[in-house]
Structure 1
Amino acid sequence: MAGKTEQMIARVFGQIADGLETGSFGARPKIALTGMGSEHGEENAMAAAREAARAGVDVYYIGTLEAEGVTTVKVKDDEEGHQKMEELLKQGVVDGAVTMHYPFPIGVSTVGRAVTPGLGREMFIANTTGTSSTDRTEGMIRNALAGIITAKACGNPEPTIGILNVDGARQTEMALRELQKNGYPIRFAESSRADGGAVMRGNDVLKGTPDIMVTDSLTGNVLIKMLSSFTTGGSFESTGYGYGPGIGEGYDRLVLIISRASGAPLIRDALKFAAELVQGKVLEIAAKEYQAAKKAGLEDILKKYQQKPKEAAEEVTAPPKEVVTGAIQGIEIMDLEDGVRALWKQNIYAESGMGCTGPVILVSEANCEKAEAILKEAGFIS
């Protein structure tokens, strides 16, 4: 009896010590880590597990190694490791998992978290692996929501959104502004460049201008790799939190992705990231955010901005040529020539061009205001 009492007292004092160190006096989040398959060996993953355990995470290490303070679940290879991870998640033994690859269903993709080199700011990258939608623009709109969910679960109640200047950026911005107008709260970041705006450039990636950088998942994957390993030449991901949790409407499990190139410091922080999401009740936040977005007309907006197959371009004759020094920004590159033809139909001479912030339509200074109104009416710009 005395022995059991001593063990209970030791456990209580251990929890108090963890609470003082981590600031949380609740149950320690239980996070599984698959350690086999890393390019840097199992020792690299176990080193991360030990450090995360000291920081207040209850780590279930799936592999062959053992260490004090870490629960080891023995498996013989990587394949068995993933099967065991699935089992632990399904049975509720662990609250979440960190792993090197995972087959997310369409509609679910991961929100990365990086430390940007310019100012040392943390920035969420939405998204980095998986596919939120097979339609590019819809995917980026959904990525923005996933970023907001993740940031809120990590304690930021009003994260700022920036949209990387890639194909689909302008359409995504218009869609998100419609969602905002309909009552879903979105705070847009302003680019650090002189001309501002919510569409971000490379400078903003390095500086971490927005709390959440929205992009397609392939571009996001490149960004997270570069930001995590820019000091190591790419072979060792040393900074940041990895590729993050899979977020999607109705998705009910917490799985975070790292890379086979991820080093111990990044894996440690990915485990802490997972624990933070558990404590922040990310799945509950996701349900609330999707419900709020739907109330603001998300489904109709997604249908409106889905990319439709282009019909054969109507033959339109250009009006007489004139000097074009007025630039209209904010049009998607795929819509550029259609926008020019739309102005020609209204007897306004226009040309397509490319400015430092992206595609532009060039018209005369005298026609600039009228041309903008036509393009807005036709849905080419917001």
Structure 2
Amino acid sequence: MSDEIRKIVGSALAEIIDAAKSGGPKAKIGLMAAGSELGSEELARGARLAQETYGNVKPVMIGPRIAGFEDLEWIETPDCEADISSTLEAALKDGRIAGAVALHFPFPLGVTTIGRVMTPGKGKAMILASTTGTSATVRGEAMLRNAIYGIATAKAMGIENPTVGILNVDTAQPVFRALTHLKEKGYPITFGASVRKDGGAVLRGNDILAGAVDVCVTDTLSGNVLMKMFSSFTTGGSYEATGWGYGPSCGEGWRNVVSIISRASGAPVIANALSYTASVVGGGLPDKVAAELAAAKRAGLEDEIAALTPKAECMEEVKAPPAEPTDDEVHGIDVLEIENAVRALWKANIYAESAMGCTGPVIKMPAKHVEKAKAILKENGYL
């Protein structure tokens, strides 16, 4: 037996023994070894922490070798971010690594990342969908797709029936309405509930602090802000100390599992991100995304996307009916649709006013018109 063959056999046996000791196979996950604001050693410490703590991951450092971390596996490159990035992409393509954790990655339009945070209220993990990238250019479609990708990620993590809530940002109500339509037509989604007295799947700040749902759906920019706040609120912002990072990439037809961390992510977050990535690789994330999209399309996803896409139209001039005392309210209409909803009621000769309540926009009107108004608003797609 030649020395080369002995080396290959020895390496294979070592991997088998290592897997047996840890209770199962380890996914090789690449990690960029340079580019952190905290220094390259922080990245290596995160990899070592993952290697020592988690049984599902074998970190592979990609970049210039760092002295003192000979216990880690390396794919060496020059000290150049372009070389590190191209080597990481090549390692993914040729199968030397099953996934990657990167400080940046050139995701195409349509791909976004699904983060995971530790909520402080009850020490519960929660998925944020999404945190970087762009799942779609239209906000409503993006949030609808984020919900589907968040569910797929939760299922890849082993959560069979994740609860879903929508953060109360612009377009939350139309997205909730679209998801409700998909559920009515057979898409399996389980809505969570607010911890507040009035409940509901549209979430407020209290709910995300308490981790009221498994998957919190939001737009990417809001999700990015939340990720930074949850991960570094104990450190003043310069060091991300908790959570699992900005998460793995998801998109229609996208097959790579690349997770994102920040240049301010500390070793604990880096270690968690490596394990998180290994978990969704093992759970077949790209296949889970494809399956969820297929199920949503069978339930009318394309129709719901079309309904969420703004249409250019001429505004018909509508005058308000004579004013009446407004002693009741209708909730649940998105802030971007509130004025058009009021105009729809005016056309039906119902006096109404838009206002902002403590839980979001409301339409004020005489109590005697509420039931008829709700029917009109539902007929026009506002409720």
Which TM-score band applies after superposition, normalised by the shorter structure?
over 0.9
The equivalent of 2:102 in structure 1 is: 99
Of 292, 296, 304, 2:295 maps to 292
1:365 maps to amino acid: A
Contact 1:149 1:282 in 2 (8 A): yes
The equivalent of 1:59 in structure 2 is: 59
TM superposition score normalised by structure 2: 0.94
Q: Percent identity?
A: 50
* Residue segments in structure 1 that go unaligned for 5+ positions in a row: 20-24
1:204 maps to amino acid: D
C-alpha spacing 1:174/1:11, structure 2 compared with 1 (3 Å): closer
Matched, 1:375 2:373: no
The equivalent of 2:245 in structure 1 is: 242
C-alpha distance in 2 between matches for 1:319 and 1:219: 39
Q: How many angstroms does 1:321 deviate by?
A: 1.0
C-alpha spacing 1:7/1:184, structure 2 compared with 1 (3 Å): closer
The equivalent of 2:190 in structure 1 is: 187
Cα deviations across residues 147-174 of structure 1 (Å, max 9, x unaligned)? 0000000010100110000001000000
Q: How many angstroms does 1:314 deviate by?
A: 2.1
Contact 1:110 1:243 in 2 (8 A): yes
1:147 maps to amino acid: G
Q: How many angstroms does 1:78 deviate by?
A: 1.6
C-alpha spacing 1:88/1:345, structure 2 compared with 1 (3 Å): same
C-alpha spacing 1:13/1:318, structure 2 compared with 1 (3 Å): closer
Matched, 1:225 2:223: no
C-alpha distance in 2 between matches for 1:192 and 1:43: 41
Q: How many angstroms does 1:15 deviate by?
A: 2.7
The equivalent of 1:130 in structure 2 is: 133
Q: How many angstroms does 1:8 deviate by?
A: 6.9
The equivalent of 1:33 in structure 2 is: 31
C-alpha spacing 1:185/1:268, structure 2 compared with 1 (3 Å): same
The 10-residue stretch of structure 1 (282-291 or 141-150) with the greater mean CA deviation from structure 2: 282-291
C-alpha distance in 2 between matches for 1:359 and 1:283: 38
Cα deviations across residues 104-137 of structure 1 (Å, max 9, x unaligned)? 1111101000001111110000000011111110
The equivalent of 2:364 in structure 1 is: 362
Q: How many angstroms does 1:69 deviate by?
A: 3.5
The equivalent of 1:15 in structure 2 is: 19
C-alpha distance in 2 between matches for 1:11 and 1:174: 49
Contact 1:53 1:69 in 2 (8 A): no
Contact 1:137 1:307 in 2 (8 A): no
* Residue segments in structure 2 that go unaligned for 5+ positions in a row: none
Contact 1:245 1:254 in 2 (8 A): yes
C-alpha distance in 2 between matches for 1:141 and 1:254: 21
| Secondary structure at the counterpart of residue 16 of structure 1 | helix
The equivalent of 1:22 in structure 2 is: none
| Secondary structure at the counterpart of residue 114 of structure 1 | strand
Contact 1:49 1:268 in 2 (8 A): yes
C-alpha distance in 1 between matches for 2:175 and 2:272: 31
Q: How many angstroms does 1:51 deviate by?
A: 1.4
What is the correspondence of 1:249-264 to structure 2 with a 5 Å cutoff?
249-264=252-267
The equivalent of 1:343 in structure 2 is: 345
Contact 1:192 1:209 in 2 (8 A): yes
C-alpha spacing 1:290/1:11, structure 2 compared with 1 (3 Å): closer
C-alpha distance in 1 between matches for 2:341 and 2:11: 74
The equivalent of 2:335 in structure 1 is: 333
2:249 maps to amino acid: G
C-alpha spacing 1:155/1:262, structure 2 compared with 1 (3 Å): same
Of 89, 95, 108, 2:111 maps to 108
C-alpha distance in 2 between matches for 1:164 and 1:8: 47
The equivalent of 2:48 in structure 1 is: 50
Q: How many angstroms does 1:272 deviate by?
A: 0.3
| Secondary structure at the counterpart of residue 45 of structure 1 | helix
Q: How many angstroms does 1:312 deviate by?
A: 4.0
